[in-house]
A and B are shown apart, each in its own frame.
Chain A
């Protein structure tokens, strides 16, 4: 069965800190890895990574994929209180006929002022 493991499960930092969130995966036929941010309700899309070693960046957030070691990291620099959320990692298995997501349990990030 496909598995996505995120670490740490929770993290508390101060504003201005840099954080690194981890996601490792085991899937039969890997297609893509996605990061989402979940605040009150819906997961909102951050990044989709398909190729190894290519960093995706959006403002203070960046992410990279290592397909050889089967993991991805999400970096957030100069954290702000608004970054407080659950960060979800999910993978798409190319063996299916759709783009079904298998999620990890998430990392709860709390940024204190």
Chain B
């Protein structure tokens, strides 16, 4: 069964460093998303990507964040200068229409 894959599963980084989280969405899907979940809190929308551009972003998705789909398969989230409060589980998701399918997540720990 097709699935969304994310790497790495866990990343520890120092405050101020740049991180890139990687995702391979399901191949025939059209919409791509990043969500995050801070420990003990709800899943929050960050950004959606369609037709090679951002279609919507949340208030959380400030200038520190960027997304790219550099080739036909990968979808990346870059955080330019990480802060302690960026520590969270980051989920990539993709959808054809309607229901989104989630990757297993990258746990980002900023120290």
Instruction: List the interface of chain A (C-beta within 8 A of B).
Output: 32, 34, 36, 41-45, 48, 88, 90, 92, 96-106
Contact B99 A48 (CB under 8 A): yes
Q: Please state if A97 and B56 are interface contacts (CB–CB under 8 Å).
A: yes
From A34, A98, A102, residue with most partner B Cβ within 10 Å = A98
Whether the pair B98, A101 counts as a contact (CB closer than 8 A) is no
Known: A99-B31, A100-B33. A45 touches B101 (CB 8 A): yes
A103 to B38, CA, bound (A): 13
User: Of A32, A42, A45, which is in contact with the most chain B CB atoms at under 10 Å from its CB?
Assistant: A42
Give which listed residue, A41, A45, A100, A103, contacts B56 with CB less than 8 A: A100
Output the nearest chain A residue to B35 by Cβ-Cβ distance.
A101
Sorted nearest first, the 9 A-B pairs with minimum C-beta distance are: A98-B48, A42-B102, A103-B43, A98-B55, A105-B42, A48-B99, A42-B104, A41-B105, A41-B104
B89 is an interface residue with CB less than 8 A from chain A: yes
Which residues from chain B contact A99 at a C-beta distance below 8 Å?
31, 48, 95, 97-98, 100
Indicate if B91 sits at the interface (CB-CB under 8 A).
yes
- Contacts beyond the supplied A48-B99, A99-B48, A101-B45: 12 A-B pairs with Cβ under 8 Å: A41-B105, A42-B103, A43-B91, A43-B102, A45-B101, A48-B98, A96-B55, A98-B33, A98-B48, A100-B45, A100-B56, A101-B35
